[in-house]
Structure 1
């Protein structure tokens, strides 16, 4: 069987050097795929050794040849995907905090629209709630009054009738 991508001895030495520098298990497995490919292993043998699906192995090898070692040996995903930093969020919420302290009712829909305008794109419906939670905001409402509560006059007459 002819291999489409053949790893040279120089490339193998580069892969081995990257394996020695590496401290991440996920990257280690991706580099192991390339090393096993150099040793002449088939996709199903590499899949058994690494636990990857054969299609993923094929994509890793293709990506290595098209984009180089950095495409396989670096982390490409970072954690913080926020639209604003914590300080920017605090500054954004400051105007609403002042309005709330003045006794005005705050509408989350308005806050969401302003946040989207500031971020430059639409956000999910729960993202504004996560921002509020991150800054220790909570929902504060006045105690509601029961809509069927009797008037004071009816309550007083009821009390007078019970005393008899």
Structure 2
């Protein structure tokens, strides 16, 4: 027979969290504590009810008890950064605006030369693929080369085509 669930001293805090929960995670934390104590559910049944594994449910209950006792701080809200992002989207856009000022006027962009400048602005080393993904996120794309050089002379090119010997 499994041992009875502990944490009776945290029921009041769990009920308060259940009433004021704004996210699904807060609701799961309260349910992980209350379901075994109020309804007598086993850990496996509680895990099935809240949609987590048995190990995760046990960890949720343990963390709730530690937070309620003041041993641990409450779980932190997720930051505005994307997963493993070096900067948020606004910061990325401002970095690219600074680094690509010449390119916006029609200059040529050579990514490996930009990489050290972007790393300096971000403050961390980054892979070349990260730079390419950052440019793609902000609307920069690889353009196909023109069939002629922009500084070339169209008339001279046509004269050369007419007078070019055939192979």
Asked whether the two chains share a fold, i.e. TM above 0.5, the reply is yes
Q: Does 1:56 align with 2:56?
A: yes
Distance 1:108 1:128, change over 3 A: same
Indicate the structure (1 or 2) with the bigger Cα radius of gyration. Answer: 1
Match of 2:77 in 1: 76
For the 8 Å contact 2:14–2:30, the answer to whether it is kept is yes
Distance 1:58 1:138, change over 3 A: same
For the 8 Å contact 2:99–2:117, the answer to whether it is kept is no
Off by >6 Å, runs of 4+ in structure 1 = 69-73
- Cα displacement (A) at 1:69: 8.4
Distance 1:73 1:19, change over 3 A: farther
Q: Does 1:135 align with 2:148?
A: no
Structure 2: 5+ residue stretches without partners: 149-159
Distance 1:7 1:130, change over 3 A: same
Structure 1: 5+ residue stretches without partners: 146-150, 159-164
Work out the number of aligned pairs and report it. Answer: 151
Distance 2:165 2:54 in 1: 82
Q: Which moved more, 1:66-75 or 1:28-37?
A: 66-75
Distance 1:58 1:157, change over 3 A: closer
Q: Which moved more, 1:61-70 or 1:107-116?
A: 61-70
Structure with bigger RCO (C-alpha 8 Å, 6+ apart): 1
Q: Does 1:21 align with 2:20?
A: yes
Q: Give the TM-score taking structure 1 as reference length.
A: 0.67
SS of 1:98 mapped into structure 2: coil
- Cα displacement (A) at 1:37: 3.0
Match of 2:156 in 1: none
Q: Does 1:108 align with 2:107?
A: no
Q: Give the TM-score taking structure 2 as reference length.
A: 0.66
Distance 1:117 1:110, change over 3 A: same
Match of 2:153 in 1: none
Match of 2:32 in 1: 33
Deviations 1:36-91 (A, max 9, x none): 13234321121232222111111111212223389797563234234345554344
Distance 1:52 1:90 in 2: 38
